[in-house]
Amino acid sequence: MHASTSGRPAAVGAVMSLILLLVTVLNGPPASAGSHVPPAADPAAIREWNTIATDTISANLGATRPSGQVVIWHGFVSAAVYNAVVGIRGDYAPYKWRVRGPAGASPEAAAVAAAHRVLVTYFPASQASLDAAYAESLARIPAGSAKTQGVAFGERAAAHLIDLREGDGRGAPVQFTTPPAPGVWRPTPPGHLPFIDPWLGRLRPMLLTDPAQFRPGPPPALSSARYAREVNEVRTMGARTGSSRTAFQTETALFFGGNLAVQVQAALRDHTARHRLGIAETARLFAAANTSATDAVVASWDAKLHYGRWRPITAIHLAHTDGNPAAAPDPQWQPLLVTPPHPDYLSGHAAVAGAVTQTLSGLLGTLRLDLTFFSEATGTTRHYDHAHRLNEDMINARVWAGIHVRSADVAGCRAGNRIGVWAVTHYFQPLRSSHAQAAPTARPTCPQTGMR
């Protein structure tokens, strides 16, 4: 009598099932055809390299440089990091790039590589510290093809950004040549420094089509009642001594008297961490905010070059030359803060704040931004739930500091708002239905008057 063979297929099937189960446990389920599931990535890498970028820029340009140039470099780094991440993830439209990265590449490795490459290219004097930070960051990412492919794609994203910015006007020999006259800017005390970085007003924008795309109309005429009212407001509220400012108003002026780029970056890092944004969302927020801030600086310097309006200290000292009897001269008057070496109209601080708040409100679909700012100048922290409150404080701060008239701040904020709307309607759009969001809000984040 022969043994039965009817149980062999069942036994073989059981063994194969056991093998498949073991493979699944060890390697995870097989990806379906056409699936796009990149490795998990820690968005903290973007925040870490934003901090490194901030430190590197400050070390090379000076932490207190009175120029908008510091903002430009954050725009470059953030755009490259954004392309490196979304080129792999596929969540959002890349910035001026159509290349897609390997689906299995590490977005974290790509972000680190992109940030490192841009910073080393533009700040070679910091290469040793940047290389050390780069090695440390990469050591935390598991070895393998995902990491290797991510690094390679991050390098490509950085190279594209660097190529994109070739010949953009950085450092061009732009000069302010308008001869001194009533209302015209000239170097201010105590240093009487020349116009700093005038080339910023001719720099090719990152998002706009032209530096003058959102150039506002001219400042108030010297003969106008508004002009006299604004100069007298600064003379009263912005004086170093004898001012009628309250303690809160003085603290506000000092709070926003330092490096705004450093304050903005720290606020963005804090916001993305507390709200637990993923790596693509984090990269998008930094890129959108920093590229719009870059163009806000370009627009501000364009207006400064075009209108060349004198600063309050000059207007007050030389009020006897402006033909307006309502503006009284005071040759001994001094502002609370030292006047930066560039024209009054329009305010770079107010423009950057207006652009960043408008951009964030567009991305998030709300005017409630939940931003926390810290000031090294005062050692204090301020939390802003609403965008217009931040812009209101910024506008007032520059008046109470004695370095801008109100119209320069209001015009700056409004120009920044227009740049922010342009940013979120022309760039950084979702590509996948799973990332659909509310329509970007176009409600202005600037207060109507700037008064409080």
Q: Which amino acid is at 291?
A: T
pLDDT at residue 7, as a whole number: 44
Residues 6+ apart with CB under 8 A from 206: 75, 79, 291, 294, 295
Burial of 27 (0-12, 13-18, 19+ CB in 10 A): exposed
Residues 6+ apart with CB under 8 A from 333: 235, 239, 313, 316, 317
The gap between the terminal CA atoms of the chain, to the nearest Å, is 104
**Residue 159 sits in which domain range?**
44-164
pLDDT at residue 67, as a whole number: 87
The neighbour count for residue 341, using CB atoms within 10 Å, is: 18
Torsion region of 10: left, alpha or beta (phi above 0 gives left; psi -120 to 50 gives alpha) = alpha
Identify the weakest region by mean pLDDT among 5-14, 75-84, 124-133, 248-257. 5-14
Structure token digits, residue 370? 């939940």
Q: Are 326 and 406 contained in the same domain?
A: yes
Query: What confidence category does residue 3 fall into, taking pLDDT thresholds of 50, 70 and 90?
Result: very low
Last residue of a domain, one of 108, 143, 164: 164
pLDDT digits (tens, 9 = 90+) for 339-390: 999 999 999 999 999 999 999 999 999 999 999 999 999 999 999 999 999 9
Query: Whole-model pTM?
Result: 0.89
- Residues 352, 264: contact at Cβ < 8 Å? yes
* Residue 408 located in a structural domain: yes
What is the rounded distance in angstroms from the CA atom of residue 148 to the CA atom of residue 146? Answer: 6
Q: Are 149 and 257 contained in the same domain?
A: no
* Residue 287 located in a structural domain: yes
Q: Are 156 and 297 contained in the same domain?
A: no
pLDDT digits (tens, 9 = 90+) for 387-433: 999 999 999 999 999 999 999 999 999 999 999 999 999 999 999 76
pLDDT at residue 440, as a whole number: 57
| Adjacent-strand bridge partners of 164 | none
pLDDT digits (tens, 9 = 90+) for 246-255: 999 999 999 9
Q: Answer whether residue 23 shows pLDDT above 80.
A: no
Q: Are 151 and 246 contained in the same domain?
A: no
Output 20 or 100, whichever has higher pLDDT: 100
pLDDT at residue 452, as a whole number: 41
* Residue 237 located in a structural domain: yes
Q: Are 93 and 237 contained in the same domain?
A: no
Mean pLDDT of the chain: 90
Identify the weakest region by mean pLDDT among 27-36, 125-134, 219-228. 27-36
What is the residue whose two structure tokens read 């904020």? 413
Q: Are 123 and 239 contained in the same domain?
A: no
Classified as helix, coil or strand, 100 is coil
pLDDT at residue 9, as a whole number: 42
Q: Are 160 and 218 contained in the same domain?
A: no
Identify the weakest region by mean pLDDT among 39-48, 182-191, 192-201. 39-48
Last residue of a domain, one of 164, 190, 207: 164
Query: What confidence category does residue 447 fall into, taking pLDDT thresholds of 50, 70 and 90?
Result: confident
Domain count, the chain: 2
pLDDT at residue 438, as a whole number: 52
What is the rounded distance in angstroms from the CA atom of residue 318 to the CA atom of residue 21? Answer: 85
Q: Are 263 and 377 contained in the same domain?
A: yes
Q: Are 112 and 244 contained in the same domain?
A: no
Burial of 246 (0-12, 13-18, 19+ CB in 10 A): exposed
pLDDT at residue 217, as a whole number: 97
What CATH number does residue 222 fall under?
1.10.606.20
Query: What confidence category does residue 125 fall into, taking pLDDT thresholds of 50, 70 and 90?
Result: very high
Q: Are 310 and 223 contained in the same domain?
A: yes
Last residue of a domain, one of 138, 164, 190: 164
